[in-house]
Amino acid sequence: MEILDILILGSGPAALCLASELAKQDLKIKGVSTKSPNEKWENTYGIWASELEELGLESLLSHRWCETVSFFGNGETKKGNIPTKHNYDYGLINQEAFQNELLKKCKGIEWLNETAKDIIEKNNLSEVICFSGLKIKARLVIDASGHKSKFVKRPIQKKIAQQAAYGIVGKFSSPPVNKEQFVLMDFRPNHLNNEEKLSSPSFLYAMDLGDETFFVEETSLASYPALSQDNLKKRLFKRLDNKGIKVNEILHEENCLFPMNLPLPIKKQFVLGFGGAASMVHPASGYMIGSLLRRAPLLAEKLASFLKEPHLSSQELATKGWNVLWPNELTRRHKLYQYGLQRLMSFDESRLRSFFSNFFKLSTKEWVGFLTNTLPLPKLIYVMSKMFINSPLKVKLGMLNLN
Ligand SMILES: Cc1cc2nc3c(=O)[nH]c(=O)nc-3n(C[C@H](O)[C@H](O)[C@H](O)COP(=O)(O)OP(=O)(O)OC[C@H]3O[C@@H](n4cnc5c(N)ncnc54)[C@H](O)[C@@H]3O)c2cc1C
């Protein structure tokens, strides 16, 4: 039986980001995925434009907004409806162009349309067993099969908080957001009842897509248990209804649900992960694409050098890989973000509005660095401390769990 250097599971953004970097190395690689890598991705991926610019990939944006705002007021008074201006460009990724760009770089990698059922470790190698009965051996298996991966081992945690959202791309009786505007978070709570305000606030993420078409999405940042799609759908329609806006046509529906606080994987295991499977979603925002693009090149380069040592077993290779993916610096930052998210999940809508309104008073460099996870640990600690010191007492008490 042929022995590959690397077998990648999945063909989503994580699999293709890493495969496109691994393809530059002189390695025998194959991919196994339930969906063909040519099948169009379904999710709408948003990103801060600078994250693509830094990589020279800004041409992959299908839309770009300069007028980027949020609303953290109560929505009742004139003052309570004033937007917070971010003055920082945000964009939507052209999924097809992004996928094709990555696939072009995956030269020489064959993808098998199969679903992995099990992975076993045998004689220092890994063997993937597919539902069809096909068996494939590799020195290292990289699991990029998404958040629901069952092959990556991590500490057991019962309460996994989920980000949930229900959104529609459609035509409306009047514009739900201003022309050429992108709304990161509209936290005005007018449409929520008291119970919802207290225990499960949600916000609107919305954008003008041009041609009288808008994307509006009711989003719960993170909660356990997750808010249901039905609940979010009702809230979205109530929010629109409150503004006297009717939906004339639905062109696309988006149902979003993924974990925000999956524990970090155990490093001593024989499978390496990447993407959702490797807990790489930003624990405070739910974003991941920028991080995949930034972290894939180093991991690919390091794996190629580890694979030059023929005596290394799958477990030794995977453990080395996990150490590159989750070094101490990133692990500590992750812990800080997780602490912050845990506290935010206990906030009612008024405290959340207060928190975010204060957060965006940080300098642009600071809040962008926080949201893209690009601040070195000492700077992240400094920014979080600054945010804490400048926040109102009720937010301070909430952050310290002294409610
Ligand atoms: C609706 C939605 C919207 C999102 N929006 C954003 C956003 O705007 N910006 C952002 O940065 N992040 C966003 N995210 C978060 C994150 O970027 C996505 O979840 C992203 O798709 C995760 O990429 P992935 O490649 O790890 O997993 P997936 O995209 O889930 O891909 C998994 C792949 O593995 C395959 N697979 C699964 N099981 C097996 C198996 N057993 N064997 C073989 N193949 C298998 C699947 O067919 C698929 O190809 C969003 C998430 C969702 C759900």
> Measured between alpha carbons, how far is 8 from 19 in angstroms, rounded to an integer?
8
Give me ligand 1 centre to Cα 4, in Å: 25
Between vectors from CA 348 to CA 350 and to CA 353, what angle results, nearest 5°? Answer: 35
User: Which CATH class, in words, describes the domain spanning 3-37+106-157+266-326?
Assistant: alpha beta
Pocket lining: 128 vs ligand 1, CB cutoff 6 Å: no
What confidence tier does 47 reach under pLDDT thresholds 50, 70, 90? very high
Predicted local confidence at residue 369, as pLDDT: 98
**Within a 10 A sphere around the Cβ of 154, how many other Cβ atoms?**
16
Letter for the amino acid at 282? H
Let me know if 236 is exposed, middle or buried by CB neighbors in 10 A (0-12, 13-18, 19+).
Answer: buried
For the stretch 317-346, pLDDT in tens is 999 999 999 999 999 999 999 999 999 999
- Atom of ligand 1 at shortest distance to CA of 10? 34
**How far, in Å, is the centroid of ligand 1 from the Cα of 276?**
7
Categorize the per-residue pLDDT at 380 as very low, low, confident or very high, splitting at 50, 70 and 90: very high
Q: Whose CA is closest to atom 17 on ligand 1? A: 288
For ligand 1, the distance from its centroid to the CA atom of residue 357, given in whole angstroms, is 30
Output the pLDDT for position 199: 84
Measured in angstroms, how far is the CA atom of residue 164 from the centroid of ligand 1?
14
pLDDT of residue 1: 81
Task: Name the residue among 275, 256, 290 with its Cα closest to residue 44.
Answer: 256
* Closest approach atom of ligand 1 to CA 42: 1
Could you tell me where the beta strands, DSSP code E, fall in 187-281? 203-210, 213-223, 247-259, 271-273
43 lines ligand 1 (CB under 6 A): yes
β-strand pairing of 46-48 with 90-93? antiparallel
Q: Could you tell me the distance, in angstroms and rounded to a whole number, from the CA of residue 12 to the centre of ligand 1? A: 6
Return the residue whose CA atom lies nearest to atom 22 of ligand 1.
276
Cα–Cα distance for residue pair 403/396, rounded to 1 Å? 9
CATH 3.30.70, applies to 73-89+159-259:
yes
Res 98 pLDDT > 90: yes
Q: With contact defined as beta carbons under 8 Å apart, do 218 and 166 qualify?
A: yes
pLDDT for residue 87 = 96
Distance in Å, CA 254 to ligand 1 centroid: 13
pLDDT average, residue stretch 79-94: 97
Does the C-beta of 113 come closer than 6 Å to ligand 1? no
User: What is the reported pLDDT for 101?
Assistant: 97
Q: Where are the alpha helices (DSSP H) in 8-112?
A: 13-22, 49-53, 95-105
Q: What percent of the chain has pLDDT over 90?
A: 95
Going by pLDDT thresholds of 50, 70 and 90, the confidence category of residue 311 is very high
User: Does residue 276 have its Cβ closer than 6 Å to ligand 1?
Assistant: yes
**Which of 185, 258, 285, when mutated, tests ligand 1's pocket best, judged by the most ligand atoms within 8 Å of its CB?**
258
Taking only the tens place, the pLDDT of each residue in 241-293 is: 999 999 999 999 999 999 999 999 999 999 999 999 999 999 899 999 999 99
Ligand 1 atom at shortest distance from the alpha carbon of 276: 26
Residue 76 confidence class, pLDDT cut points 50, 70, 90: very high
15 CA distance to ligand 1 centroid (A)? 9
| Cβ of residue 34 lying under 6 Å from some atom of ligand 1 | yes
SS3 percent helix, strand, coil of the chain, rounded to 5, is 35, 25, 35
145 lines ligand 1 (CB under 6 A): yes
Question: Average pLDDT over the chain, rounded to whole?
Answer: 97
Instruction: For the chain, give every residue range classified as CATH 3.50.50.60.
Output: 3-37+106-157+266-326
pLDDT grade for 198, boundaries at 50, 70 and 90: confident
Taken as a whole, the chain contains a residue count of 403
- State which ligand 1 atom lies nearest to the alpha carbon of 15: 25
- Determine whether the shortest distance from the Cβ of 124 to ligand 1 is under 6 A: no
Q: Using one digit for the tens of pLDDT, what is the confidence trace for 141-153?
A: 999 999 999 999 9
pTM score, whole prediction: 0.96
CA-CA distance, 400 to 394, in Å (whole number)?
Answer: 10
Q: What pLDDT does 347 receive?
A: 96
The pLDDT confidence band at residue 403, using thresholds 50, 70 and 90, is: confident
